[in-house]
Structure 1
Amino acid sequence: MDDYPLARVYQLLEPGPVVLLTTAQAGRANVMTMSWHMMVEFTPPLVACVVSGADFSHRALKETGECVIAVPAVHLAPKVVAIGNSSGRDTEKFSAFGLTPLPAAEVAAPLVAECFANLECRVRDDRLVPDYDLFVLEVVKAWSDSGQPEPKTIHHRGYGTFAVDGETVTIPSKMP
């Protein structure tokens, strides 16, 4: 075994697909790219995610307690990266990147029409926000686009490198 740089450990453990997180505050919608998230419970579905205090979306999420996690397929990767490389402080990202906001059923934040899944969320626990910018979200409504069968997701590997969702294997398990 060789030493591995601690600054690159996250590249080994990056858990899930890169997603878009939308918020809405004072009538203004925003969308950001996020890859630091994980499932923490099945029922109800709880998702933990890091939204940095440096991100424009942090304040809206903290103040409204609502967001949407939209899951893009690989064909949206260039837009997803461009969204992540810009700030909602000075860019109206939905129009700048050609995304279509759709009304959600349970929260004020918009769905993203181009994504194959959208999860409407409410903040369930914010006790770790002051120290770690970690929000625990409860998914209160979920949507999927049947017009995008078997979409491939992108997974951040660090420094502009992504893996694309690959072959699916089924191995019997007692887990749901």
Structure 2
Amino acid sequence: MSRLLAVDLAKSYRLLNHGPTVLVSSAAGERSNVMAAAWAMPLDFDPPKVAVVIDKATHTRELIEASGEFVLNLPCRAQAAGVLRAGGADGRQVDKFAHSGLSRIPAQEVAAPRVDGCIAYLECKVISEPLNQQRYDLFIGEVVAAEADAEVFADGHWRFDDEAKRSLHYIAGGAFFAIGEAFEVGK
């Protein structure tokens, strides 16, 4: 298992600012679910906030509305098949964790589970915005805990040396990109 590094909440936006596909995990009572989402982004620094689109028709949405919390899990290339399976099943019909081959692990600050093996986690409490939620399916969450795999995220920056641990970027039809080569431009 990879060593997880606590990420300063004021810098937790760096886990999402490169636009990765995420797995949104949720729970209410004894029920839990996971779904793939390509529309998630950092929103603010202090307190840190994120935005994610969660359609009204999803089981995940029901659980988030019931519990007021969720986790944004950042899967890696090695998990692409599980991400695709999680995105293509209905959580009301099947246990999407079992269906996708993904495993639950406990979160630090919320009841929603984390997805084991991801390269980063953002645990969130919903900031109620009923108009945005109903009209645009847009949920805003305050990040209450953030961690990342120390092999790929350290000192506030991603280092994707391991091909299997590169973040995923979904482009439709079962196709993904993995994050590419990093480079810097001098000032």
TM-score by length of structure 2 reads 0.78
- Aligned to 1:108, the other structure's residue is in SS state coil
Structure-2 change in CA distance of 1:43 and 1:171 (3 Å): farther
Structure 1: tracts of 5 or more residues without a match: 1-14
Aligned to 1:140: 144
- In structure 2, relative to structure 1, the CA distance for the partners of 1:44 and 1:77 (3 Å cut) is same
Asked if 1:117 corresponds to 2:120, the answer is: yes
Matches of 1:32 and 1:100, distance apart in 2:
13
Write out aligned runs for 1:56-71 (5 A).
Answer: 56-71=59-74
Report the Cα offset of residue 119 of structure 1. Answer: 1.1
Specify every segment of 5 or more residues in structure 2 that has no aligned partner in the other structure, as ranges: 1-17, 154-159
What is the alpha-carbon distance in structure 1 between the residues aligned to residue 98 and residue 51 of structure 2? 28
The structure 1 segments of at least 4 consecutive aligned residues displaced by more than 3 Å after TM superposition are: none
For residues 113-147 of structure 1, the C-alpha deviation after alignment (integer angstroms, 9 at most, x for no partner) is 11111111011232301101100111100122335
The more displaced of 69-78 and 145-154 is: 145-154
> Can you list the C-alpha shifts for 1:78-124, whole angstroms capped at 9, x where unaligned?
11011100011011122222222111121100111111111110112
Which residue, out of 89, 92, 101, partners 2:92?
Answer: 89
> Contact conserved, 2:85 with 2:99, CA < 8 A, in 1?
no
* Alignment partners' CA distance in 1, 2:51 and 2:123: 14
Question: Is residue 33–residue 91 contact of structure 2 (8 Å, CA) maintained in 1?
Answer: yes
Residues 63 and 18 of structure 1: CA distance in aligned 2, closer, same or farther (over 3 Å):
same
How many residues are matched? 159
- Higher Cα radius of gyration: 1
The two structures, once aligned, show a CA RMSD in angstroms of 1.8
**1:141-156 maps to which residues of 2 (within 5 A)?**
141-146=145-150, 150=160, 151-156=165-170
Q: Which secondary structure state, in structure 1, belongs to the residue aligned with residue 25 of structure 2?
A: strand
TM-score (norm: length of structure 1): 0.83
Is 1:159 matched with 2:163?
no
- Give me the identity figure in percent: 37
Aligned equivalents of 2:142, 2:186: Cα separation in 1: 28
Please give the alpha-carbon distance, in whole angstroms, between the structure 2 residues aligned to 1:162 and 1:113.
20
Inter-partner Cα distance in structure 1 for 2:186 and 2:60: 40
